[in-house]
């Protein structure tokens, strides 16, 4: 159902470096690269994640309550992505572990712009 998610940025180059390195860990590649928009996907026809300089020219801010959740293939990958994000300058928002009565496995970070991200996989 979701085609793409955009996250506002005030430093397109810094955000690009962060997401190139982070999303490259799961095989995502940049599929769009303009002066104000960068977009990644793992394959044609799959959902995309983008960083964008706001069209109105105003300062980008992290949305309160907004959180893209990126589906991973295993708990190991959740842990790897959480650690990779932190090594790239993200802050920890919740260590990887079971959530939702043990049905799901999540790890949470905030990217360098303050956007909250979740990495998750079904626990079973």
Domains in the chain: boundaries: 4-54+66-122
pLDDT digits (tens, 9 = 90+) for 33-92: 999 999 999 999 999 999 999 999 999 999 888 999 999 999 999 999 999 999 999 999
At the topology level, CATH places domain 4-54+66-122 in 2,3-Dihydroxybiphenyl 1,2-Dioxygenase; domain 1 (3.10.180)
Helix axes 75-87, 12-24, angle to 10 degrees: 150
Backbone phi, psi, residue 36, to 5° = -125, 0
**Six-digit token pair at 9?**
């940025």
Task: Give the DSSP letter of residue 58.
Answer: P
40 and 56 Cβ atoms separated by less than 8 Å: no
Q: Model-level pTM? A: 0.91
Identify each DSSP E strand in 24-101 by its residue range: 29-33, 37-41, 48-52, 69-71, 91-99
Q: What is the chain's Cα-based Rg?
A: 14
């Amino acid at each position: 159902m979701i085609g793409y998610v955009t996250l506002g940025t005030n430093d397109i180059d810094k955000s690009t470096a962060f997401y190139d390195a982070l999303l490259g860990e799961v095989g995502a590649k940049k599929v769009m690269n303009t002066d104000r928009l960068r977009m990644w996907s793992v394959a044609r026809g799959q959902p995309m994640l983008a960083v964008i300089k706001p069209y109105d020219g105003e300062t980008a801010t992290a949305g309160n309550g907004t959180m893209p959740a990126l589906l991973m293939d295993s708990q190991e990958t959740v842990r790897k992505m959480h650690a990779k994000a932190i090594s790239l300058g993200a802050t920890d928002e919740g260590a990887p572990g079971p959530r939702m009565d043990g049905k799901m496995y999540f790890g949470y970070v905030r990217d360098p712009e303050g956007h909250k991200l979740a990495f998750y996989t079904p626990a079973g």
